[in-house]
Structure 1
Amino acid sequence: MNDHKERAAFTISKSPNAELEGVVPASKRSRFVEQAIADALLRDARKRALDALDALDKLPSYDTSGEDSVEVLRRIRQERDSEIALRHRVAAA
């Protein structure tokens, strides 16, 4: 696989830069930094996915009482319609 490479410019603090220069040979620094960025992006994507899954725990749960999904959705919509109608009646009063 032949990836097209693009030049990128970054500004980093002296200390990490000095450590990078001391540990990673110049000929391998671009690949090292590229892999570090890819790893960080993957960690960030995983964290966002886990946070999204955690948010699902905060969603209200509905007792289905044996109803099928169509009936549950119909009941939820009717409940929300009633709540909206009540809010409008209270606001109009």
Structure 2
Amino acid sequence: MALLGSEGVRKLVSGGCDSTVKVWKLSNGVWTREGGALTMHSDWVRDVAWSPSLGKSIIASASQDGTVVIWSLKKDGDNGRGKF
């Protein structure tokens, strides 16, 4: 899990045993999922890292399947694009 926070906005990214990566946003004390699950892995997602950038976010996810996927999310709720 990686946490990102700026100017009162709190987000995190998670990966798990369902082989997906998910982006979450804290709003009024409740975490809700943003957009759909990111799917390119075929086994557990063991690690995630998040780097905000100008106008987009870059997420890296590493899986038990031996792959690392780099995701590019352009805006809030974007399902993103993954590359091996």
Structure 2 length as normaliser, TM-score? 0.20
Structure 1 length as normaliser, TM-score? 0.19
Greater helix proportion: 1
| Higher RCO, 1 vs 2 (CA within 8 Å, ≥6 residues apart) | 2
